[in-house]
Homo-oligomer: A and B are copies of this chain.
Amino acid sequence: MDESSDRRAQILDAALEEFADKGFRGATIKSIAERARLQSQALIYWYFPSKESLFREVVERHLPVLQVVREPERVLDSPPEEVLPQFARAYLEAANRPGLVRVLRLIVPEAIRRPDVTEMFGRHIVARLLGFLQTYLERQVELGRLRPHDVRASSRAFVGMVLSQLGIKLFFPMFKTGGPTDEEHVRAIVEIFLQGLSPEVPGQETRR
């Protein structure tokens, strides 16, 4: 009941590329039909009731690709010197995976003006991401590997440190020269973060 025809997948694939390249309004039924090598654009309406529903199905189908963090529970007890660089590298490598970049270019621009897409993106991607980091950092505090602090803030902070490099890489490639490599960046931010939250405080941190 779900294997569907060949055509559906063919149209969905073409629609993904067109929507990612030109946006919802920029892509037309005609251009999608052409990219899918259909002789008639009317055929799309045999498989999908409207352009809108075609778009939604494309989004729902490809949103999960952005879930970079897959099995969070596994690493809960691994040391941050190991987990945080892994985490950061996983996201920075996203920029090298064309399929993932395409989905980003599909979703991000539309999410800004479509509350439903924003919600899906927020709930499935952002919440998951922040949630994982937050529980992981909480755990590290419990284990005494990091000093007690506001993990709500530090989780956002670490995500931001990673995403700034990713964002620059994706949207402002002109800053590649003059910027650190991914590996240099990862090393730098992990060092700042870990030393910044190190439990062994020399003296002045919480002056009493």
Kindly state whether residue A197 has any CB partner on chain B within 8 Å.
yes
A122 at the interface (CB under 8 A from B): yes
* Secondary structure type dominating chain A contacts: helix
Contact size range, A: 35 or more
B192→A130 contact, CB < 8 A: no
Q: Contact: B196 with A149, CB < 8 Å?
A: no
C-alpha spacing A162/B165, complex, angstroms: 13
Does A174 reach chain B (CB closer than 8 Å)? yes
Q: Which residues of A83-121 have CB atoms within 8 Å of chain B's CB atoms?
A: 105, 108-109, 111-113, 118-119
Residues of A163-208 whose CB lies within 8 A of B = 163-165, 168, 171-172, 174-175, 178-180, 184-185, 187-189, 191-198, 200, 202, 205
Shortest CB–CB separation between residue A101 and chain B, in angstroms?
12
Give per-residue flags for A135-165: 1 if the beta carbon is below 8 A from chain B beta carbons, else 0: 0000000000000011011101101111111
A192 touches B193 (CB 8 A): yes
How would residues 32 to 61 of chain A score, 1 for a CB under 8 Å from any chain B CB and 0 otherwise? 000000000000000000000000000000
Judging by beta carbons under 8 Å apart, are B200 and A126 in contact? Answer: no
- Judge if A25 is at the interface, Cβ distance under 8 Å: yes
Kindly list chain B residues whose C-beta atoms are within 8 Å of the C-beta of A113. Answer: 22-23, 26, 109
